A and B are shown apart, each in its own frame.
Chain A
């Protein structure tokens, strides 16, 4: 992971909480914001963040599904919108006055079930990685997966080979072969670590913690026991023991189907391209043979031969569709299948626990 020199992303607890808050508030719309911090010896320390303004949709336009779609589009494209850049610059200027790190090190986005690998994410990250400086990351917070227990917060960068390819803007078969770029190398994941300040550690020890180890007074009645319940400790979170399976599987299957549809569309585009290419080429060959035959007769008639490369003007070869969408789609499918694998590992262990609990003596 020599890429960009960042091998770890260290996120302050404040940033985690702010992202969680912003993402869950605007769920299911994508929430985006900017992160600030600095890079120290290969570790990118993210110390603060702020959300980008929400996009205003005129109420009368919001009713149609098309407008809602474009609003989602706008929200996803927010990190590179001009107004938001100005907003970010202004905010950073303000934050600098109160001694907050004033270096923009990337952006964050919320996602739902890991469907973040799309043209918008790539374009945003490209925008940041190209312009601002080399060392920027995209933090991705998965709202629905976090709701099931463990927090899902990941950091991504675009790989250098993808950056070069994207800069050229060429994603046809030839360039892909030359660069050897595959969908696996689009994004580079960087391990994320949360970090607490000393003061925060003090505070955390004051928040509800483990039950006390020493002997306690016995409760006098059942009512006093329920009335004076011991608060749940924050760690571990027993939400991860939840046994709900079907919603997750349904959602995953839906998303997979969507990906397959996309893939199919792309394939059709490509096949169409191939057919029209073959048709054009057949036409060209026919024209060339005809012209050659014509030239032979002209030479026989002692006339000057007609130019043979005129076909380049007469026929236009269709342009090859970009394979970028296919690449991203493949990466997205990979993401889903990894996710499902993790989920399956998790849920099978839980299922067997429950089974052996309800059917003792079976094993």
Chain B
């Protein structure tokens, strides 16, 4: 990933029919595609060494940027001698997927092992070829090494045809590594935050918390970072840590970002905004109470003569009376004395 560089040399093979372009391209992988691959890898049968699937996404107009957005599994069987990919499944699944995501196209395929072998070449040619493949664009091959106890290594390739004769080039292919990066959008951030908050827990699970929890976490983190920086600065002042002009400059720049404003202005703006917030909050709650009240009145007042007085719940009766008084103030009180009795049968279920 970072730090690796690639050199592309494209040399068309003469006389092997239509070939995909082998121009260099940038691949970005969105997390949900990666998660799909990992999920599939976990769901494979025990004896299978690797599983494969299709990658979908978008391609820029000139085909030089590929954005992998989704992935789905394709069943295949692989032995030492032969490989079998369920073509029907691939076709049907693609159709189903495109129905729901009309903007995405087939961009390539993935395998859950870092190994590239003859079968990889075969499958690569299938995905890159005509008529169902990515032709005339190259198909992207993503390998995600999911060997237990090792890190997850990802690599992306495109295939270039290779071979002396036309027949040989059908089942061989040279894989050229292309750069890739994992990219997430702004919308993904909040999801990823929650997911990664579970990464250090033993149960590998995290509850979906409230906004306030998230705020607390963020503020604690900021305080922690500020502590770290001020610690460093005071150490430098005490000549205990090595000073660095670059860091100093950077801190100066950052500190100078703090706006210089008149305290009176701040005070005014602050009060205005806080009032806005509180007023809307107050209004919302008032509206809720009003609507609640109106609901209770509506269900109570309309049954004049329909209810029966059982008198078994004194607490309910008292509560009902209270509500009635409030109701009279708010809505002019239709129904009078009857309402108190009507309310009563409902009260026990409320608590």
Contacts of A108 in B (CB 8 A): none
B211 contacts across to A, CB distance below 8 A: 145, 148-150, 240, 342-343, 346
Q: In the complex, which residues of chain A have a beta carbon less than 8 angstroms from the beta carbon of B214?
A: 149-150, 236-237, 240
Chain B residue nearest to A232 in the complex (CB): B189
Chain B 269-305 interface mask (CB, 8 Å, partner A; 1/0): 0100110111011011101100110110011101100
A300 within 8 A of B: no
Contact indicator B199/A205 (Cβ below 8 Å): yes
Neighbour of B299 across the interface among A177, A334, A348, CB < 8 A:
A177
Interface residues of A in 160-179 (CB under 8 A from B): 173-174, 176-177
Decide yes or no: A99 and B45 within 8 Å by CB, A177-B346, A225-B250 being known contacts: yes
On whether A340 and B280 interact (CB within 8 A), knowing A346-B215, A359-B263, the answer reads yes
A-B pair number, CB within 8 angstroms: 324
Tell me the complex Cα distance, A73–B56, Å: 29
Q: Give bound CA distance, A340 to B285, whole Å.
A: 9
With an 8 Å Cβ cutoff, the count of chain B residues facing the other chain is 109
Chain B residues in 8 Å Cβ range of A199 = 38, 41-42, 146, 152
Q: What CA separation (Å) do A203 and B295 show in the bound complex?
A: 52
Task: Say which residue of B187, B195, B247, B267 sits within 8 Å of A204 (CB atoms).
Answer: B195
B100 touches A53 (CB 8 A): yes
Known contacts being A199-B146, A274-B302, is A346 close to B266, with CB within 8 Å? no
Interface string of A233-247 (1 = CB under 8 A from B): 111111111000110
Name the prevailing secondary structure of the B interface residues: helix
- Once A99-B43, A237-B190, A337-B287 are accepted as A-B contacts, the answer to whether A150 and B213 lie under 8 Å apart by CB is yes
A positions within 8 Å CB-CB of B: 10, 12-14, 16-18, 20-21, 23-24, 33, 47-48, 50-54, 87, 90-91, 94, 97-100, 143, 145-154, 173-174, 176-177, 180, 182-183, 191-207, 218-222, 224-226, 233-241, 245-246, 249, 252-253, 256, 259-260, 263, 267, 270, 274, 323, 326-327, 329-330, 333-334, 336-337, 340-351, 353-355, 358-359, 362
Interchain residue pairs A-B with the least CB separation, the first 5: A24-B187, A180-B349, A150-B214, A17-B32, A98-B73
Q: Give B contacts to A, CB under 8 Å.
A: 30-32, 34-36, 38-45, 51, 69-70, 72-75, 86, 89, 92-93, 96, 99-102, 146, 151-152, 182, 185-199, 204-215, 217-222, 242, 244, 246-247, 249-250, 253, 258-259, 261, 263, 266-267, 270, 273-274, 276-278, 280-281, 283-285, 287-288, 291-292, 294-295, 298-300, 302-303, 306-307, 342, 345-346, 349-350
